[in-house]
Structure 1
Amino acid sequence: MTASAEVGRATGRPRRGGVVTWACAPGFPPAVIFPFTPAERMGTRNIYEFQMLMYRPLYYFGSRGTPDVDYEQSIGEPPRWSADGRTVTVRIRPWKWSNGETLCADNVLFWVNLMKVKGSRYGEYVPGYFPDNCTSYGKLADDTVYFTFDKPYSKKWVLMNQLSTITPLPKAWDRTAEGPANASGDPADVEAVYAYLIAEQGDMVEEGNEHRTRWAGSPIWSVVSGPWRLKSYTLEGMVTFVPNEHYSGPDKPYLDEFRQVPTQSDEQQYEMLRAGPRGEGSIQVGYLPLSFAAESTTDPTRGGANPLGDDYDLVPQAAFCIRYFCLNYNNPTVAGKIFKQTYFRQALQRTLDQDTAVTDIYQGYAYRQNGPVPMVPPTDLVSPRQREGAWPLPFDVEKARELLEANGWDTSRTPAVCVNPGTGPGQAGEGIPAGTELSLEMRYVEGRPALTRLMRRYKEHAAAAGIELRMEEVYGSILVAEDGPCEPGPDTPCTWELTCWNGGWAYHYPTGEILFRTKAGGNFGFYSDPTTDELIEKSVTTDDLEALYEYQDYIAEQVPVIFTPNFPIRLFEASRDLGGFGPVNPFGMINPEKWYYRDRD
């Protein structure tokens, strides 16, 4: 069964009512309800499985199973462009907020002004791009906004990567503790309004943040535009949604409730599913942990035999994403200096055996990721070099060792030792003194056996090249909070070195500004390279794919992050009692408003 196929074996008419319980992946309870989310919390669990159910973005993507904008599901009508290609106009559909307000231009400008003033606290903000690259923007009518850019850009890029960052916010949020404000019309009000909303949000890092238990009854967070509103959230991570009766878009929910329950490990998830989808405490939707796949598959988008097939359909969600782990270029110790050496990153990439992991660890539900553009599903966005398999850094421990030897390291022992410091040819690089040992801490998310196996093999192969990786498993939500973007200071030592949360980035359009441009929100490790910035700029100002190819081939060789095997964002297990489950969204979102039980014939 393909990921786009309709699933659910029950017959009969769709009926309204019932409860669906989803068993979530371990380690990442939602930490942020305010959709102006910082980079360290821009995860699948937080955004796609939580916020987007309640707060719809200006443009919605992929809900019909295709990697495109779904205008029917979108608040914004198709954008209209001026003849000179610099001004785009967007009309807002008159959807209703749950408090009766009509969605309007002010709701859009509220968000844009937040980005203008507080962009550094938003995970998809890129300095110099939206809204910094607008010479003007504003309201043409109560339902129409415009943006005039400093020069012509790729229209597809503007739609997919710039306007897509906007989530309209209600007037009910445009306030401070003292009363209503005007952040939608006056950027001077933004700081005070933002401070008020963050206070209502509560601490984004503290796992025991009791604000979470009050979100459902909040006069702020209970005002929603999406198909769902929050009924309750417990400190244990149990989330319950009920339908938003005022939802204006298509696909109004059939269900009475949609519940999300936390799990602690892949093993617990599997046992919960084995108990079946009926009865007290049952699970109707979950995921098949990769380590429990019954047999190998040759097509990760279709899947193979399902060990839970008596009760569930296996539906891979092959999202348009890449997976990688991050290096902290801002680490103030010698580790940060080592990461800035291209030869070292190339050696580190060469010690990761992706191809064997695909077959032996991931049972064929994965595929090698060569660079910064997703290889699956196949598109013409992948450069010809990489499409044809010309990966510049395939697994080769001996060549990794040679790279280190050629740049001043003695690899006759592990960890290797710097024996030729300096910045000249054959030397280790700036800031790396003689006697430095090549020993680094690698932290990764706990509770995922397949990832643990990958990391253990990686440690062995890296050691064979002279690189000691000191491995540590960490609870996922703590990992992303502690190992997030940072700059060294009195309150932020910024000493994490290597981190892997078993994820990466889901794209709309795979230009690199969010991930690799200097000081971009999604640039978690603070990588900075002038050539990369220039190539990214070329790729966003033209629809010519050659610019995108040049950028991605350069990144594949520079490896600012270490690319890991890619696999479907979820191997859904969906109860056969459910209808409406497919097609699945290729950008990673979920749409439980489409799910339903059937009346039996």
Structure 2
Amino acid sequence: MTAQLTDAAELAKDGERPKKGGVVTWACAPGFPPAVIFPFTPPERMGTRNVIEFQALMYRTLYYFGNSGKPEVDYELSIGEEPEWSEDGLTATITVKPWKWSNGETLCADNVLFWVNLMKVKGARYGEYVPGYFPDNCVDYGKVAEDKVYFTFDKAYSKRWMLFNQFSTITPLPKAWDRTAAGPANASGDLADVEAVYDYLIEQQGNAVEENNAHRTKWADSPLWSIVSGPWRLKSYTLEGVVTFVPNEHYSGPNKPHIDEFRQLPTFSDEEQFQMLQDGTVQVGYLPLSFAAGSTDDPTKGGDNPLGERFRLAPQVVYCIRYISLNFNNPTVAGKLLAQTYLRQALQSCLDQDTAVREIYQGYAYRQNGPVPMIPATDLVSPGQRGAAWPLPFDVARAKQLLEDNGWDTSQSPAVCVRPGTGPGQAGEGIPAGTKLSILLRYVEGRPALTELMRRFKRDAAAAGIELRLQEVYGSILVAEDAPCVPSEETPCLWEMCCWNGGWVYHHPTGEIVFKTDAGGNFGHWTDARADELIERTVTSDDLDVLYEYQDYIAEQVPVIFTPNFPIRLLEYAGNLRGVEPINPFANIAPENWYYVEDGEQ
């Protein structure tokens, strides 16, 4: 039985007097207003703000991850029962609980198959799709009964991987969405109907990369998007970007909302966020690192709180990695530069993570050595990357030597290519003699700690001979413009390096979503046959040595520049608000669990 909050009697067991109702206002991180309501999110909008903090409140995935703060599936809060596997490990059967949609329909097998068929036909437009994996690796799937589906796979896979990284993508969709402008369709049963249904839903959604909120203001009154399975429904989305949720009266889960309204306010900088907290105009927000009082030796625990007793400080530590994305599809010489392993290794060697952890992040951070999260400490991290072990430590002299050994004159900065060609000691394919080693690095604005990290990275890279041209960009614009792309007349694909102050939140850290060729989360389109081979082994085996070999290879090849990891937020919440903790390790938020206590109880 999970320790979710259910009723006033249970809430009052510790002597507190819970208050029914009230409004909680959440000050959101700068730069990322919700841009997609249709929970089939494209790669350019696949992120925490859209998927976890917006869509998931209304549209529940088949499985809910994070059980009372532990990194496991919470079956009580899941629509799907635990998968039942055949003896040969090839077929999984899943029973769908008879929960209700807000329009009275019962959740059923067809709702699951609707999603799977969308993935089958339009997978390339979904941010977590990986070619060759779910549902491409299903040799057969379908409906066993009105409440039961089955999936038969081409071979036996790791059952944990299948549950955590494959079935986790499924979001059951209501029958009412299975239509076109002409009327009802059958995308849940006929692949031929999927294209037209998808086009209709995208039309109703509106342009996902358009920054104007005009089309978003219509979502709350939409006969489509108002049909929800989660604990919340959208009340309004204003032109100013204020998002307001109210409880879904028909929610079937055991943790019904206690508050009357959950409101999300846009912010534009860390300074504005802190001012809102000081003024008491919001009940939930985050403490900007630049305002942290003193340092901490443990990023999972809050230190001194400059807001005093009015707020509680809880680092929102989740199972993730952070990095700077590189565009391997850039058709100019910049793309040729980034294709060189020695250059990526040099770039990684110029990023001083340890000093940044101490001086920029006040100890609320930790070094990220490779593609598997370092916190919480687990045996999933390769021995070669644990503790003091580090494949590419901060070493400007080594970075400079890597460039000199591969055809660059570093006596000037930026360095200049003096030995073009593809042979030993030469700069690499497509890099002409005389090329200056200069790369554009765009990053999200409004985050002083990130700005300082980028400033120091630029300084140390210059000492090695690499010029980083820094440019701050509003977050939502940044991820829309510096998105996964293939060069064409319409999309020149000219971005070079991009840092949105994030990376990837894992369920199980096998890497196929981020590093496999053509995967939806492979934003830079890195491709490497050896990496693909190693990833394929990790998804079919639970042998830790297999996972170690994969991550050591990724750390050496540097398909992204790993940056210091830190909590998503130093979460601040009002002293009379309860239910915010324990923190979900997969970044889910659950305002349905939040409630106020009587005044005077802190």
The aligned amino acid for 2:455 is R
Is 1:253 equivalent to 2:253 in the alignment? no
TM-score of the two chains, using structure 1 as the length reference: 0.97
Aligned equivalents of 2:23, 2:73: Cα separation in 1: 29
Residue equivalent to 2:388 = 389
Secondary structure, in 3 states, of the residue corresponding to 1:549?
helix
Give the Cα–Cα distance (whole angstroms) in 2 for the partners of residues 322 and 118 of structure 1: 27
1:503 is aligned to 502
Contact 1:203 1:209 in 2 (8 A): no
CA distance in 2, matches of 1:581, 1:335: 45
**Equivalent residue, structure 1, for 2:594:** 595
Q: Which residue of 2 aligns with 1:102?
A: 106
1:112-151 to 2 correspondences below 5 Å:
112-151=116-155
Question: How many angstroms apart in 1 are the aligned matches of 2:201 and 2:345?
Answer: 43
Equivalent in the alignment of 2:23: 19
**CA shift digits 1:120-154 (9 cap, x unpaired):** 00000000000000001000000000000000000
Query: 2:220 aligned with 1:221, yes or no?
Result: no
**1:107, 1:171 within 8 Å by CA — same for their partners in 2?**
yes
Any conservation in 1 of the 2:213–2:241 contact (CA below 8 Å)? no
Following the alignment from structure 1 to structure 2, what is the Cα–Cα distance between the partners of residues 209 and 114?
26
State whether residues 11 and 598 of structure 1, in contact with CA within 8 Å, keep that contact through their aligned partners in structure 2.
no
Q: Distance in 2 between matches of 1:107 and 1:245?
A: 20
What amino acid does structure 1 have at the position aligned with 2:596?
Answer: Y
Q: Quote the residue 2:536 is aligned against.
A: 537
Name 2:195's counterpart in structure 1. 191
In the alignment, the residues of structure 2 paired with residue 268 and residue 193 of structure 1 have an alpha-carbon distance, to the nearest angstrom, of 42
Deviation of 1:209 after TM superposition, in Å, equals 4.2
Corresponding residue number in structure 2 for 1:342: 341
> Does the Cα contact within 8 Å between 1:27 and 1:264 map onto a contact in 2?
yes
**1:359-383 deviation digits (Å, cap 9, x = unpaired):** 0000000000000000001111111
Aligned mates of 1:596, 1:329 — CA distance in 2: 47
Counting only pairs closer than 5 Å after superposition, residues 187-336 of structure 1 correspond to structure 2 as 187-276=191-280, 282-336=281-335
Structure 1: segments with no counterpart, 5+ residues: 277-281
- Deviation (angstroms), 1:106: 0.2
Over the aligned positions, Cα root-mean-square deviation in angstroms equals 1.4
8 Å CA contact retained: 1:11, 1:599? no
Q: Match of 2:253, SS?
A: coil
CA contact (8 A) 1:113 1:187 kept: yes
Note if contact 2:349-2:395 (Cα within 8 Å) is conserved in structure 1: yes
- Tell which deviates more after alignment, 572-581 or 222-231: 572-581
SS at match of 1:62: strand
User: Which one-letter code corresponds to 1:254 in the other structure?
Assistant: H
Provide the residue aligned with 1:424 in structure 2.
423
- Take 2:130 and 2:478, find their aligned partners in 1: how far apart are those partners? 23
**SS at the partner of 1:527?**
coil
Q: In 2, Cα distance between the equivalents of 1:303 and 1:594? A: 21
In the alignment, the residues of structure 2 paired with residue 511 and residue 438 of structure 1 have an alpha-carbon distance, to the nearest angstrom, of 33
Matched, 1:465 2:469: no
Amino acid at match of 1:427: Q
> What is the rounded CA distance, in whole Å, between the counterparts of 1:461 and 1:598 in structure 2?
50
Check the 8 A contact 2:26/2:264 in 1, yes or no.
yes
Q: State the distance in 2 between where 1:211 and 1:225 align.
A: 23
* SS of equivalent to 1:380: coil
Q: In structure 2, what residue type is equivalent to 1:272? A: M
**Matched residues in 1 for 2:475 and 2:191: separation?**
36
Structure 1 residue 451, shift from structure 2 partner? 0.3
**Inter-partner Cα distance in structure 2 for 1:32 and 1:63:** 27
CA distance in 1, matches of 2:328, 2:85: 40
Distance 1:460 1:439, change over 3 A: same
The corresponding residue for 2:573 is 574
User: Deviation at 1:389?
Assistant: 2.7
**Aligned with 2:33 (options 8, 29, 34):** 29
TM superposition shift of 1:342: 0.4
Name the SS for the 2:325 alignment partner. strand
Amino acid at match of 1:536: I
Return the structure number with greater relative CO, CA threshold 8 A, min gap 6. Answer: 1
Q: CA deviation at 1:216?
A: 0.2
How big is the shift at 1:13?
2.0
Task: Return the alpha-carbon distance in structure 2 between the equivalents of residues 496 and 353 of structure 1.
Answer: 24
The within-5 A match list for 1:159-198 is 159-198=163-202
One-letter identity of the residue aligned with 1:479: L
Residue 11 of structure 1: CA displacement? 6.5
Match of 1:555? 554
* Cross-structure match for 1:519: 518
Output the CA distance in 2 between the equivalents of 1:132 and 1:45. 28
Aligned partners of 1:144 and 1:309: how far apart in 2?
A: 52
Distance across 2 between alignment mates of 1:252 and 1:149: 37
1:42 to 42, 46, 59: 46
**1:207-233 CA distance string (max 9 Å, x none):** 004210000000010000000000000
Structure 1 residue 415: deviation in Å? 0.9
Cα distance in 1 between the residues matched to 2:357 and 2:393:
14
Please say which of residues 580-589 and 74-83 is displaced more in the overlay.
580-589
Give the Å deviation of 1:387: 1.5
Q: Which AA in structure 2 matches 1:17?
A: G
For residues 560-597 of structure 1, the C-alpha deviation after alignment (integer angstroms, 9 at most, x for no partner) is 00000000111110101111121110101100000001
Report the secondary structure of 1:493's partner residue: coil
Q: TM-score, length-normalised on structure 2? A: 0.97
8 Å contact 1:40–1:485 — kept in the other structure?
A: yes
How far apart, in 2, do the equivalents of 1:179 and 1:556 lie?
51
Compute the displacement of 1:310 (Å).
Answer: 2.4
Paired residue type of 2:563: T
C-alpha separation between the residues in 2 aligned to 1:118 and 1:101?
26
Does the CA contact (< 8 Å) of 2:63 and 2:80 recur in 1?
yes
Secondary structure (helix, strand or coil) at the match of 1:67 reads strand
Q: CA shift at 1:12, angstroms?
A: 2.9
The match for 1:279 is none
Contact between 1:320 and 1:374, CA under 8 Å: does it hold in 2? yes
What is the aligned length? 591
Once residues 133 and 310 of structure 1 are traced to their aligned partners in structure 2, the CA distance between those partners, rounded to angstroms, is 53
Percentage identity across paired residues of the two chains: 74
1:300 and 1:364 in contact (8 A); partners too: yes
Q: Which residue of 2 aligns with 1:84?
A: 88
Between stretches 162-171 and 202-211, larger displacement belongs to: 202-211
- Give the secondary structure class of the aligned counterpart of 2:451: helix
